[in-house]
Chain A
Amino acid sequence: MIRLTDITKSYPVAGEALIVLDRINLHVEKGEFIAIMGPSGSGKSTLMNIIGCLDQPTSGTYELNGELISEYDDKQLAKIRNQSIGFVFQQFHLLPRMTALENVELPLIYAGVKKAERMRRAKEALAKVGLSDRMEHLPNELSGGQKQRVAIARAIVNEPDIILADEPTGALDSKTGKQIMELFTLLNEEGTTVIVVTHEAEVASYAKRTIFVRDGKVTSAERVVDQELLEKIVEKETFDS
C-alpha cells in the first residue's frame, strides 16, 4: 500500500546539495506496525513527512494505495492528508484556544462534515482514547499524556488508513508513553497501518517491524520481535558508526 521507490531528498545548503534521504526503497503493507529508528539527524522525520504528504521528495516515486502520490498537486495532497493519513506529533500541536472536542473536530471541518455528524464522530474518537470526561477541556487544562491522546483522537477521527507518529512519546514519561503505545497497538489491531518514529527500543518493541535509517539510507528492514535482540541492534545501529 505504501511503496517508496528511489526516494531522494536533498536541501541546497551553502550552494551544495545536502542529501538527507538517498535513494530509499521501502514497502509497507496494509495493517503493518512499523517503528523507524536511527540516530538524530539521520532523516527519520524527513522520511515520515514525505510518507505523510507534508513534504515532497526531490526525486523518486511514492505510491499510496496504488496512486502515484508524487505526481499530485497541493490540493490533492491536502485531501490525502485529510482522508488517508493521521499525524501525531511529539509536541502534540493542539490549537490552544479550542477545547479537546473542537480540536478533534478540526479534520472533519476540512472534510466538509456537518456539525451534528462531526460532534458525534469527534466524541466517538475521544471515547476511544479514553477522554470522554475531558471533552470540554482546553489543552492547557490537560496533562501531557491526555494532550497526546487528544492528538491521537484527532488523527483517527477521519478513519485514516495510516497513522504516522513522529516521536509520540518523546515528551512523555515512560509510563504515559506505554499507555500511548498500547493505544497505537489497539488501533493497529483494528487494521490501521501505524508507523512510529522513536529513539526508544521499548517503544519500538510494540512494532512488528523496525526500520533503521542511517546517513539517509534504510539499512535494515527486518522483522524484530525479540526485545533484547532489538535493543542490541538499536545500540549497534545507533552508536556503532
Chain B
Amino acid sequence: MNVMENIKMAISSLRAHKMRSLLTMLGIIIGVGSVIAVVAIGQGGEAVLKSQFAGEANTLSLFYMPTEEELQANDSRIYEDPFTQEDIELLMTIPEVKKVVASSTTSTNVRFREDQTDSAVVGMNHAYMDVYPLDIKEGRNLIAAEYLSGARVGIMTTNVVEELTGETEAPFVGEIVYVNGQPIEVVGVAEEETGLFSFGAKTIYVPMKTWQTIFAKKTITELSIQTETVDDLQIAGEKATALLNEKYKKEDAYQTLNMEEIAEGIGQVTRIMTIIISSIAGVSLLVGGIGVMNIMLVSVTERTREIGLRMSIGATRGQILFQFLVEAMTLTLIGGLIGIALGTGLSFVVSHFAGWPPLISLPVIIGGVLFSMLIGVVFGMLPANKAASLHPIDALRYE
C-alpha cells in the first residue's frame, strides 16, 4: 500500500467534508501563518539593520583604541592617525577583503583670492571614490594617475564654492585655491553630501598623497574594508584587526564595530515582539492540533464500518493506522501551506508599512511544511491508533 494511494484517499475524504476540514485547519493556518510572517518580518528587519551598519557598500570601519597609558601620555599622534599605506597593502592580503577604503580628514583654512573659509579636507584613495562616489555637478572626478602621483588637484562641494565666491551657481572648475597655504587646482564641483552625519559639511576632496604632502604627514586617519557580501564582513573584520594587532604588537588596540553585538542590542525589541507573537502562534497551533485530533476522532467513529470493511478485505492494523495518520497529516499540511501563503502575504503588507523588504527564506518555508506535517502526526496518532485497534467484526457491525 503506497503513500500516494493513501494521500489520494485522504484528499478524497477531506473533500467530502470541505467546510469541516477548512474549519479544522484554521488553527494550523493561523499558527503557521503568524510564525512565517513574524520570521519574515524579523529577518527583513535584521537585514536592514545589518545593511545600515555595513553601509550599502558592505564596508566596515577599523579604528584604534588607545590604552590608558597612551591617553595619559597625551601623545595624540599615535591614535589620531593610526594607519599607514603599508597597512592598506597588508589588509589587501585578506581573501575576503575586496577593497580597502582609506581617508584622512583635517579641517583647515582655504583661500581663494581675497576670500577665505574653513573647510574639511579629505585625502582619499581610489577605493574611497569607488565606494562613496561623489555627485559631480561640474567638471570631473579625480583619475587614477592623480591618485598615484599625488597631483595638486581637488574637488569641492558647492557650499565651499558659495563661501568663497558668495554665489551659488558660479563656474569654479579650473580655479586655484590655497589649502593650508598650498595651491590646489579645482577640477570638479560636487553636490554637498546629504548623509545623516555629513549633512551640509564643507569638504574639499584631494588624493591621499596630496593630503599627506599638504599636511606633511605619512599617516591615514580612517580605514575601512569592503567585502563582496555582508556575511563576509564580520570575519574579514576579525582577520583585519588580528593582522594589525600582530603587526604593531598590540593586545586589542585595533578594533572594528562588532555588528553582531550592536544588532543584538537593537534586535531586543524585535525579539520581544517575536516571542509574544510566537507564543500566540504556539497556542494557536496547539489548539489547531487538538482540533485536528478531535475531528479525526469523529472521522474514525463515522467511518467505523469502512474500517471494518477494509480489515475484512485484508488491511492490516498498520495499514489502517497509516491511512489515518496520512489523513491527519494531509489536513495539517494543507493548513500549513495555506498558512505559509497567508503569512507571506501578511509579511509583505506589514513590511510595506514598516519600510523594509520581508525576507521569505526557503528554510523557513520548509520548516513550516515539516512542522505542520509533524503536528498532523502528533495529533493524528491517537485517532489513527483508535482506528487501527478496532476489532474487525465490531467495526463491521457498528451502527
User: Which positions 45-103 of chain A face chain B at CB distance < 8 Å?
Assistant: 49, 52, 54-55, 74-75, 78-79, 81-83, 87, 89, 93, 95, 97-98
Indicate whether B265 reaches chain A with its CB closer than 8 angstroms.
no
Given contacts A95-B306, A110-B1, A112-B1, whether A75 and B314 have CB atoms under 8 Å apart is no
Given contacts A54-B393, A55-B392, A75-B316, whether A95 and B309 have CB atoms under 8 Å apart is yes
One digit per residue, 1 when the CB lies within 8 angstroms of any chain B CB and 0 when it does not, for chain A 187-212 equals: 00000000000000000000000000
List 10 A-B pairs, minimum CB-CB distance, nearest first.
A82-B314, A78-B316, A110-B314, A107-B313, A93-B309, A54-B392, A81-B314, A55-B393, A87-B312, A110-B315
Given contacts A55-B393, A112-B1, whether A97 and B12 have CB atoms under 8 Å apart is yes
| Range class of the A interface residue count | 20 to 34
Question: What are 26 A-B pairs with beta-carbon distances under 8 A?
Answer: A54-B392, A54-B393, A75-B318, A78-B311, A78-B314, A78-B315, A78-B316, A81-B312, A81-B313, A81-B314, A82-B315, A83-B314, A87-B313, A93-B305, A93-B309, A95-B309, A97-B12, A97-B16, A98-B12, A106-B310, A107-B314, A109-B1, A109-B5, A110-B313, A110-B315, A154-B313
Indicate whether A111 reaches chain B with its CB closer than 8 angstroms.
yes
Chain B residues lying within 8 Å of A49, measured Cβ to Cβ, are 393
CA distance A93 to B316 in the complex (A): 18
Indicate whether B396 reaches chain A with its CB closer than 8 angstroms.
yes
Chain A residues lying within 8 Å of B319, measured Cβ to Cβ, are 78, 110
User: Which positions 7-57 of chain A face chain B at CB distance < 8 Å?
Assistant: 49, 52, 54-55
Q: Which of B308, B318, B393 has the most CB of A within 10 A?
A: B393
Contact check, A82 vs B317: say whether CB atoms are below 8 A apart.
no
Q: Which of A82, A107, A110 has the most CB of B within 10 A?
A: A110
CA distance A54 to B394 in the complex (A): 10
Chain B residue nearest to A76 in the complex (CB): B316
Chain B residues lying within 8 Å of A79, measured Cβ to Cβ, are 314, 316
Contact check, B314 vs A93: say whether CB atoms are below 8 A apart.
no
Given contacts A75-B316, A87-B313, whether A93 and B1 have CB atoms under 8 Å apart is no
Chain A residues lying within 8 Å of B308, measured Cβ to Cβ, are 93
One digit per residue, 1 when the CB lies within 8 angstroms of any chain A CB and 0 when it does not, for chain B 1-32 equals: 10001000000110010000000000000000
Main secondary structure of the interface of B (DSSP, over half): helix
Chain A interface residues toward B at CB < 8 A: 49, 52, 54-55, 74-75, 78-79, 81-83, 87, 89, 93, 95, 97-98, 106-107, 109-112, 154, 158
Chain A residues lying within 8 Å of B5, measured Cβ to Cβ, are 109
| Range class of the B interface residue count | 20 to 34
Chain A nearest CB from B323 CB (Å) reads: 10
Chain A residues lying within 8 Å of B16, measured Cβ to Cβ, are 97
Chain B residues lying within 8 Å of A81, measured Cβ to Cβ, are 311-314
CA distance A82 to B392 in the complex (A): 13
CA distance A74 to B313 in the complex (A): 13
Chain B residue nearest to A78 in the complex (CB): B316
Chain B residue nearest to A93 in the complex (CB): B309
CA distance A51 to B88 in the complex (A): 91
CA distance A97 to B15 in the complex (A): 10
User: Which of the residues B305, B314, B318, B392 comes within 8 Å of A111, measured between beta carbons?
Assistant: B314
Chain A residue nearest to B388 in the complex (CB): A74
Chain A residues lying within 8 Å of B396, measured Cβ to Cβ, are 54, 89, 93
Chain B residues lying within 8 Å of A93, measured Cβ to Cβ, are 305, 308-309, 312, 396
Chain B residues lying within 8 Å of A74, measured Cβ to Cβ, are 316-317
Chain B residues lying within 8 Å of A112, measured Cβ to Cβ, are 1
Chain B residues lying within 8 Å of A55, measured Cβ to Cβ, are 392-393
Chain B residues lying within 8 Å of A98, measured Cβ to Cβ, are 12
CA distance A78 to B318 in the complex (A): 10
Chain B nearest CB from A74 CB (Å) reads: 6
Chain A residue nearest to B315 in the complex (CB): A110
One digit per residue, 1 when the CB lies within 8 angstroms of any chain A CB and 0 when it does not, for chain B 74-95 equals: 0000000000000000000000
User: Which positions 278-321 of chain B face chain A at CB distance < 8 Å?
Assistant: 305-306, 308-319
Chain A residues lying within 8 Å of B313, measured Cβ to Cβ, are 81-82, 87, 106-107, 110, 154
Chain A residue nearest to B6 in the complex (CB): A109
Chain A residue nearest to B13 in the complex (CB): A97
Chain A residues lying within 8 Å of B393, measured Cβ to Cβ, are 49, 54-55
CA distance A125 to B36 in the complex (A): 51
Chain A residues lying within 8 Å of B318, measured Cβ to Cβ, are 75
CA distance A49 to B311 in the complex (A): 12
Chain B nearest CB from A106 CB (Å) reads: 6
User: Which positions 193-209 of chain B face chain A at CB distance < 8 Å?
Assistant: none
One digit per residue, 1 when the CB lies within 8 angstroms of any chain A CB and 0 when it does not, for chain B 167-210 equals: 00000000000000000000000000000000000000000000
Q: Which of B310, B312, B315 has the most CB of A within 10 A?
A: B312
CA distance A82 to B1 in the complex (A): 13
Chain A residues lying within 8 Å of B309, measured Cβ to Cβ, are 93, 95
Add 10 more A-B contacts to A74-B316, A78-B317 (CB < 8 A).
A52-B312, A74-B317, A78-B311, A78-B316, A81-B311, A87-B312, A93-B396, A97-B13, A98-B12, A111-B314
